[in-house]
Amino acid sequence: MYMFIALEGSIELGLLYVLMALGVYISFRILDFPDLTVDGSFTTGAAVSAVMITHGYAPLLATLSGFLAGAVAGTITGLLHTKGKINNLLSGIVMMIALYSINLRIMGKPNTPLFGENTVFSVIPEDYFLVIVPVVIIILKLLVDAFLHTDIGFALRATGDNQRMIRSFGVNTDFTIILGIALSNGLVAMSGALVAQYQGFADISMGVGMIVIGLASVIIGEAIFGHKTVFRATLAVLLGAIVYRMVIALALQLNMNAEDLKLITALIVVAALILPKIQKSLGQKRKILERIREVNNKVENNGRDINA
Amino acid sequence: MLKINHVTKLFNANTVDEKLALSNVNLSLAPSDFVTVIGSNGAGKSTLMNVISGVLKPDDGNVIIDDVEVNKLHEYQRSQWIARVFQDPMAGTSPNMTIAENLSIAYLRGYKRTLNWGLNKKKKHFFKEQLERLGIGLENRLNAKVGLLSGGERQALSLLMATFTKPKILLLDEHTAALDPSRAELISNLTEKVVREFNLTTLMVTHNMAQAIQLGNRLIMMDKGQVIMDIPPSKKQGLTVEDLLHEFTAIKGEELNDDRVILG
Ligand SMILES: Nc1ncnc2c1ncn2[C@@H]1O[C@H](COP(=O)(O)OP(=O)(O)OP(=O)(O)O)[C@@H](O)[C@H]1O
Ligand SMILES: [Mg+2]
């Protein structure tokens, strides 16, 4: 029973992290832009929504404002990269660090509690959480899918795929990169806003390691559920985020130290990134060895004088 | 249609790597001119293409399209008039998107992109028709990812994507060079067909002398950043590879020296 409650909790939390994982999917996979802004913008979304809620704004408005704040942060990262010509990793790191101070400014202190406040979840009867939230998340996923199938969405995908090509058809890639990174961080921040409301507080360090968790979700999802089409890939990311939370819940059940979770996540990502490469190079080596054997056989069959 | 006035491009000025890639180049293309461009390695052919398309800004001189000076326009802005096919078959398409999606991107050349659906029945039908003209069966693979196509298929698709919206100017930079001979011939024939059909003003770089002679109505030769030979339509008929080599020796006082020249 206790196990079941833990799993249920992890599914609930996983659902809220889906938007973050979708954001990481857009920057990392669609745009091929490893964007570290995420660690900061997740907290930005949480901070903005928490502060607004404590000031009496409607939770939904606070959540959407979280999205906008994240989009602004992403826009600045995009500008640093495209107009400032700063390497994409570095643009994200700089923005992540800047956001730490900005998030503190937004909250005025390292932690903003939401206990007793109205949140977006207050209106959901407890028994319906796992009905209503998944429906909302799936609608948002479908919206992302739809966007990626519009003309602008096509341009965005082609930007991540082949910038030279898409420019030669009239697309300003600076614009598509900024748009994509803004959308990505908007989703990440909205996820932060939801998590803050779910757990009852926003905390300055709640975004730490978020990019790796996002990557882990994307990679786990793609590995288990495949990613042939956009629809399939975003579905995989959605499920990946939930599976990731369940894995973490299980790890905790097995008395693993909570402090080690980030290390475990990092290891999962490293393994997921390296294993396919090792497999591939092993495969290649095998092929080369086979070929060498073939060639050697031929040499032997054609007489030994070649070696003489 | 296209005018290049006193264009100079100097790479790495004032360093040991200084390179005068284009030196006071003047060139003027009339509407529906199909000009083939030959010249040894490093002659400045690709640089010229890049200056026209806006990938590179000239250090001096200007580029004029239809009487409009386009010097200040970025590559993506000039693309409303200028289409390109690159040498690398990977370069002209988006590998993780489908054939139909790629065509849809190309279809909007010169138009603003909006939140309309990238594909619909009507567009797909139109793309299918267009693909049929290539005659290599791509019309049955609309939903296949372009990354799965062979180099030749991709280059045929790139050519279609570059041309089916009838751009004013078509730039081809050794677009058959990376293909095996039979595929190169196919692309070469397709090129001639679409350029003629759509009356595209075309500039085509090639290392294949026979191809340069066979295609187009005009031929220029570049060397060391300059146009050293410009054979007008009246003289291009009946031109032979030997004529070209003789002419080169006459102008430069040396033999044409290029490992990659293919005499045909
Ligand atoms: N971005 C660059 N920076 C520095 N030098 C360059 C650059 N691009 C080209 N060059 C130099 O300018 C000269 C002209 O190059 P370009 O690529 O135009 O030659 P090309 O005629 O296309 O040759 P090829 O037949 O080999 O393609 C070459 O010497 C080249 O090394
Ligand atoms: Mg070249």
Gap from CA of B47 to ligand 1 centroid (Å): 6
| Average pLDDT of span A241-252 | 89
Gap from CA of A233 to ligand 2 centroid (Å): 38
From B19, B88, B172, B209, the mutation candidate for ligand 1 (largest count of ligand atoms within 8 A of CB) is B19
Query: What's the mean per-residue pLDDT of chain A?
Result: 91
Nearest to B220 by CA among B60, B25, B81, B5: B25
Question: Is the Cα torsion angle B61, B65, B69, B71 positive or negative in sign?
Answer: negative
Strand extents, DSSP E, chain B: 2-11, 19-29, 34-39, 60-65, 68-69, 82-85, 169-173, 201-205, 218-223, 226-231
Helix (H, G, I), strand (E, B) or coil at A226: coil
Residue A306 has pLDDT above 70, yes or no: no
Gap from CA of B213 to ligand 1 centroid (Å): 24
Query: What's the mean per-residue pLDDT of chain B?
Result: 92
Who's near A275: CB < 8 A, 6+ residues apart? none
B42 lines ligand 1 (CB under 6 A): yes
B198 lines ligand 1 (CB under 6 A): no
Say if strands A201-203 and A111-113 run parallel, antiparallel, or are unpaired. Answer: antiparallel
pTM: 0.89
B43 lines ligand 1 (CB under 6 A): yes
Helix (H, G, I), strand (E, B) or coil at B262: strand
Under CATH, which architecture does the B2-252 domain have? Answer: 3-Layer(aba) Sandwich (3.40)
Helix (H) or strand (E) holding A203: strand A201-203
Residue A203: per-residue pLDDT: 97
From atom 26 of ligand 1, which residue's Cα is the shortest distance away? B41
From atom 25 of ligand 1, which residue's Cα is the shortest distance away? B41
Ligand 1 atom at minimum distance from B44 CA: 18
Task: Tell me the CA distances in angstroms from A14 to A9, A208, B12, one per residue in order.
Answer: 8, 17, 53
Residues of B contacting chain A (CB within 8 angstroms): 53, 74-77, 79-80, 83-84, 86, 90-97, 101-102, 104-106, 108-111, 113-119, 161-162
Which of B84, B98, B113 best probes binding to A when mutated, by most A CB atoms within 10 angstroms?
B113
Alpha-carbon distance B112 to B102, whole Å? 16
Q: Contact at 8 Å (CB) between A173 and A5? A: no
From B11, B18, B56, B259, the mutation candidate for ligand 1 (largest count of ligand atoms within 8 A of CB) is B11
Gap from CA of B49 to ligand 1 centroid (Å): 11
Instruction: Please write the tens of the pLDDT for every residue from A26-49.
Output: 999 999 999 999 999 999 999 999
| Average pLDDT of span A258-265 | 82
Instruction: Please write the tens of the pLDDT for every residue from B188-200.
Output: 999 999 999 999 9
Q: Which residue of A has its CA nearest to B93?
A: A165
Tally A–B CB contacts below 8 A. Answer: 85
Q: CA of A160 to nearest chain B CA: how many angstroms apart?
A: 9
From atom 30 of ligand 1, which residue's Cα is the shortest distance away? B42
A172 touches chain B (CB under 8 A): yes
| Average pLDDT of span A211-223 | 91
Gap from CA of B10 to ligand 1 centroid (Å): 11
Q: From the CB of residue A49, how many other CB atoms can be counted at a distance below 10 Å?
A: 34
Residue A307: per-residue pLDDT: 45
DSSP lists the bridge partners of residue B27 as B4
Alpha-carbon distance B45 to B51, whole Å? 10
- Contacting residues of B for A169, CB less than 8 Å apart: 79, 105-106, 108-109, 161
B46 lines ligand 1 (CB under 6 A): yes
Gap from CA of B42 to ligand 1 centroid (Å): 5
B21 lines ligand 1 (CB under 6 A): yes
Q: Which residue has the tokens 């806006």?
A: B54
From atom 28 of ligand 1, which residue's Cα is the shortest distance away? B42
Instruction: Please write the tens of the pLDDT for every residue from B121-152.
Output: 999 999 999 999 999 999 999 999 999 999 99
Here the contacts of A159-164 (C-beta below 8 Å, separation 24 or greater) are A159/A31, A160/A29, A160/A30, A160/A31, A160/A32, A160/A33, A161/A32, A161/B94, A161/B95, A161/B96, A161/B97, A162/B90, A162/B91, A162/B93, A162/B94, A162/B95, A164/B86, A164/B91
- Contacting residues of B for A151, CB less than 8 Å apart: 104, 108, 113-118
Of A150, A161, A164, the CB nearest to B116: A150
Q: Which residue has the tokens 């402090």?
A: A259
Say if strands B201-205 and B169-173 run parallel, antiparallel, or are unpaired. Answer: parallel
Q: Contact at 8 Å (CB) between B107 and B165? A: yes
| Average pLDDT of span A4-22 | 89
B202 lines ligand 1 (CB under 6 A): no
Instruction: Please write the tens of the pLDDT for every residue from A186-208.
Output: 999 999 999 999 999 999 999 99
Q: Contact at 8 Å (CB) between A6 and A253? A: yes
Alpha-carbon distance A91 to A76, whole Å? 9
| Average pLDDT of span B222-231 | 92
- Contacting residues of B for A158, CB less than 8 Å apart: 94, 97, 102, 105
Residue A3 has pLDDT above 70, yes or no: no
Q: Contact at 8 Å (CB) between B25 and B226? A: yes
Gap from CA of B45 to ligand 2 centroid (Å): 6
Instruction: Please write the tens of the pLDDT for every residue from B157-175.
Output: 999 999 999 999 999 999 9
**Confidence grade of residue A287 (pLDDT, cut at 50, 70, 90):** confident
Residue A8 has pLDDT above 60, yes or no: yes
Q: Which amino acid is at B109?
A: R
CB contact under 8 Å between A152 and B113, yes or no, is yes
Q: Which residue of B has its CA nearest to A227?
A: B96
Which of B96, B111, B157 best probes binding to A when mutated, by most A CB atoms within 10 angstroms?
B96
Ligand 1 atom at minimum distance from B48 CA: 18
